[in-house]
Amino acid sequence: MVIPLLPGPAKKWYQSIHPYVSEEGARREGIPFDPKNVLRTWEGFRQRPVSSFGGHSDRDRALREWNDLTMKSGKIDDICDELMRVTLELGYSGNFVKDKARVGITTDLRNAWALKTPLPDEFVEYINLLRQTGYQLEDVASFNRTVTKEKHHSRPEKSDDRQSSSKSPRKDRKSLGPR
């Protein structure tokens, strides 16, 4: 059996729920056994250790991450991945997620996003389209940086040779009075 292998608090925790999971454990404790107890289902059993061993702090952490979720320029994958992870962790969906996405993105992406129509109803498709729009903006920004660098490097250097100028310096001009 696995119970003897469990460390300290985990062993005590399992022993406290054992009568509700095992008919023999209920009989030994002298309590009625309920074969339909939620702890006898995987979901019910799985939720119990989460709530006993940090489920609340995990949710609090996820809520803090949700509230702090904002995009850094050029980091569309980061915000989309975090948005999906925290959304699933908190069990959020629908317009709540879409609203958070809109609020958390950069102004440039928000402006480009406003031009997209129609927007998907399903929040997963919504996030995927947002990611694609972010990629397009990142590509344009990269292209613009490349073009700017090329222009900067292809400019002819200014010569300090004053004799090559067709105009003579102003101080050498003589004033002939009003024209």
Instruction: Give 13's Cβ-side CA count (13 Å radius).
Output: 14
Q: Percentage of the chain with pLDDT > 70?
A: 78
What pLDDT is stored for residue 176 in this prediction?
Answer: 53
Distance CA 34, CA 23 (A): 8
From the centroid of its chain, how far is CA 32? 48
Assess contact for 46 and 39: CB atoms under 8 A: no
Assess contact for 3 and 14: CB atoms under 8 A: yes
115-136, pLDDT tens digit by residue? 988 988 888 899 999 999 999 9
CA 146, 149, 154, 155 torsion-angle sign: positive
**pTM above 0.75?**
no
Domain boundaries, the chain: 3-53, 56-152
Assess contact for 120 and 126: CB atoms under 8 A: yes
46: pLDDT strictly greater than 80: no
What pLDDT is stored for residue 53 in this prediction?
Answer: 61
